[in-house]
Amino acid sequence: MWVSPTKFQFPIQWETSSSKPEEVKRLPGGKIKKKEKQEVVIEKVVRNKRKCITIVKGLELFGIKLSDASKKLGKKFATGASVVKGPTDKEQIDVQGDIAYDIVEFITETWPDVPETAIYFIEDRKRVAAA
């Protein structure tokens, strides 16, 4: 009786990648998680028909401490500002009041590492460049 060779009859060689860890994170199912773009997203949320909250996301990608940034924003605009976790479990800054357009100039002056081309608004569920 003749038996066809199978992959189990030959010695198995396992590949080892101990030389350098990958920078790209692999998720289950073979998906690859891409590195996040460095950008600041500013969004205005209206609550109770008259009150506005300005949400600032992405400052931590430029190496800015969010607690320090919220203190500076609160003092500059004389409003309440706090660091909260967003719906995606990422931290963001909530600033009371409608300061969406004034905040761009303040961010670029206070932190020169953040270019104005990396700041975006979310208006009517569309991303609009601030510059």
What average pLDDT is seen over the chain? Answer: 82
Q: Is the pLDDT of residue 17 over 50?
A: no
Strand order in the sheet with 81-85: 81-85, 91-96, 51-57, 40-47, 119-123, 126-129
Instruction: Provide the token pair at 107.
Output: 């961010």
Q: Is the pLDDT of residue 8 over 60?
A: no
pTM: 0.70
Q: Is the pLDDT of residue 120 over 60?
A: yes
Question: Considering the chain, what percentage of its residues have pLDDT values greater than 70?
Answer: 79
Q: What is the pLDDT of residues 38-96, one digit of tens each?
A: 899 999 999 898 899 999 999 999 999 999 999 999 999 999 999 999 888 889 999 99
CATH of region 37-129, choose from 3.30.780.10, 3.40.50.300, 3.40.50.2300, 1.20.58.220: 3.30.780.10
